[in-house]
Amino acid sequence: MDDRERISETRPCLQAKGNDSVNAGHNTWNGWDDHRSALYQNADRFARDALRADTAERDVSGEFDRAGWKQCAEFGLLKMPVPQEHGGEGKPLSDLLTVMEGLGHGTDDQGLLFALNAHLWTVVLPLSIHGTSAQRARYLPALMQGSSVGANASTEDEAGSDVYAMRARAERDGDSYVLNGTKSYITNAPIADLFVVYATVDPALGALGVTAFLVDARTPGLHKSVPVEKMGMRTALMGRITLTDCRVPAEAVLGKPGRGVSVFDGAMEYERGCILATTLGAMQRQLEQSINHARTRKQFGRAIGKNQAVSHRIADMKVTLDAARELIHRVGKLKDDGKSIALASASAKLFVSEAYVKFSLDALRIQGGRGYLTGAESERQLRNSAASVLYSGTSDIQRTLIASQLGL
C-alpha cells in the first residue's frame, strides 16, 4: 500500500459515492453540528425529490420552473428569515444559509435558486425590514407563499456599479409619484408581480435623492420586456422594465423619500454575503463528480486520479470549498450575533465568486471532452459560474468595498 492509498482510507466522505457522500462529509466537517447537518440533509433530500430533473432541457429553452418555485415556498424557504410577527418563521440567518447550501447540492438548477435568492434578499427582506404595517400585510403573505414573484429594479444601462447615477425619475404629484425611466438586467422581471423600483426625486441631490418604491407589475405605465438571452443562469429569467408616466401612491414609498440608499445598501449587504450559499452546494456536487470520475476513468491502464496532476487539482478544489464555506457561513454567524456583515459580505462575495469560476473550470478539465459537450452539467456549471463575478456587484466593486472597510 503506497502513501496515497493509505491516505485515501482516512477519507470516507471522499470515497463514498452518490448522494451519501455529502452527508458523510458534512457530519465530519468541523463547521456543522447535528442541527445544521439535519437542516442541510433535509434540504438536499427535498431538492432531489421535489425539484425537476430536466435542467439541461430547460436551460436550452430558457424555461423557468414555476412549479419548483412553488415547491420551495411550500418547503418554507421564503418564510425563514422573516420575523414571526410579520408572518414568517424568524429563523437565524445561519440556518437559512445552511438550507440554501443543501438546495444547491440537491438540484443542478442554479437558475431557479438564483431567482429565489433575488426574490428573497432584494424584495422580501427589504419589505420586512423597511415596510409599513400596511405594506407588509398587502405584499408579504403572497411573497412568502410563492404565489407572487418579486424583482429588484435598480440597474440601468448607464447606472450599473454606479447605481446612484440612475436617471429614472420620481416626480411628486399631489398624493402620488409619477415614475419615468428604464431599468435593465432585472432577474425575474418577465414573471415578476412586484418590483422594488429605485428612482431619484431630484438628480441634483445625488444619492440623497434616491427613493425606493413598491410597484405592482399591473400598474398602468409599467411595461415588462420578454426574457433576454444570456450565457448562463438561463432558467432564471432576466428582462427590463420601462416606466412611462407610471403613477403610484405616496404610500408606495419603501422606507422614506430620499432614503432609498439605505434600503438598497441593506439589501445588497445581505445579497452579496448570502447569494452564493447555493453555490457551495453546487461546488460540492462538482467535487463529488470530479472524485468519482477520477476514480473510474482509466487512461494508460490506471485511474486518472492516480496522476498527481489530477489528484492535486482535486485536493485544491477541496481546500477551496472549505475556505468558501467558512467565508459564507461567517456572514450568517456575524449577523446572528448582531454584528456588522459589511466587510464579511464583500469578502465572501469576492472570494467565492472568483473561486466558483476556477472551480468550474477545474471540474471541466477533469471531466475532459465529455464535460465540454452541450448539455453536460460541467459545461452548464461553467457558464453559470461566469455570472457570479458580475451580479451583486462585480469583483472590482467588492475590492473597493473591502478597501473602504479597511479605512483606505
Query: What does the pLDDT look like over 370-395, one tens digit per residue?
Result: 888 988 899 999 999 999 999 999 99
Class of the 266-405 domain?
A: mainly alpha
Sorted by sequence, the CB contacts under 8 Å of residue 63 that are 6+ apart come out as: 57, 235
Class of the 150-258 domain?
A: mainly beta
* Amino acid making up residue 331: V
Sorted by sequence, the CB contacts under 8 Å of residue 36 that are 6+ apart come out as: 26, 94, 95, 98
Q: What pairing do the DSSP bridges indicate for beta strands 298-299 and 194-200? A: unpaired
Whole-number Å distance between alpha carbons of 140 and 119: 12
For 270, list phi and psi in degrees, rounded to 5.
-65, -50
Query: What does the pLDDT look like over 240-269, one tens digit per residue?
Result: 999 999 999 999 999 999 999 999 999 999
- For the cut 80, the answer to whether the pLDDT of residue 161 exceeds it is no
Query: What does the pLDDT look like over 313-327, one tens digit per residue?
Result: 999 999 999 999 999
pLDDT mean over 336-352: 97
pLDDT mean over 207-230: 97
For the chain, domain boundaries: 26-145, 150-258, 266-405
Residue 358's pLDDT is what? 97
Global pTM reads 0.91
Phi-psi region of 76 (alpha: psi -120 to 50; beta: other; left: phi over 0): left
367 pLDDT tier (thresholds 50, 70, 90) = very high
pLDDT mean over 85-96: 97
pLDDT mean over 142-165: 90
- For the cut 60, the answer to whether the pLDDT of residue 179 exceeds it is yes
Residue 375's pLDDT is what? 86
For residue 156, give the DSSP letter. Answer: B
Query: What does the pLDDT look like over 60-77, one tens digit per residue?
Result: 999 999 999 999 999 999
Residue 324's pLDDT is what? 97
206 pLDDT tier (thresholds 50, 70, 90) = confident
- For the cut 80, the answer to whether the pLDDT of residue 59 exceeds it is yes
Q: Which fold has domain 26-145?
A: Butyryl-Coa Dehydrogenase, subunit A; domain 1 (1.10.540)
Whole-number Å distance between alpha carbons of 291 and 363: 10
Sign for the CA dihedral angle at 229, 234, 237, 243 comes to negative
Whole-number Å distance between alpha carbons of 123 and 303: 49
- For the cut 80, the answer to whether the pLDDT of residue 22 exceeds it is no
CA end-to-end span of the chain: 54
Any long-range contacts for 293-298 (C-beta under 8 Å, 24+ apart)? 293/366, 293/367, 294/366, 297/368
Residue 401's pLDDT is what? 96
- For the cut 70, the answer to whether the pLDDT of residue 81 exceeds it is yes
Q: Which residues are catalytic?
A: 271
Q: How many CA atoms lie within 13 A of 265 on its CB side?
A: 14
Lowest mean pLDDT among 156-160, 286-290, 344-348, 349-353: 156-160
C-alpha cell at 138: 398587502
Residue 163's pLDDT is what? 73
Q: Compute the radius of gyration of the chain from its Cα atoms.
A: 22
Query: What does the pLDDT look like over 189-204, one tens digit per residue?
Result: 999 999 999 999 998 8
pLDDT mean over 273-300: 96
C-alpha cell at 323: 475556505
pLDDT mean over 287-306: 94
* Amino acid making up residue 93: L
Whole-number Å distance between alpha carbons of 64 and 226: 13
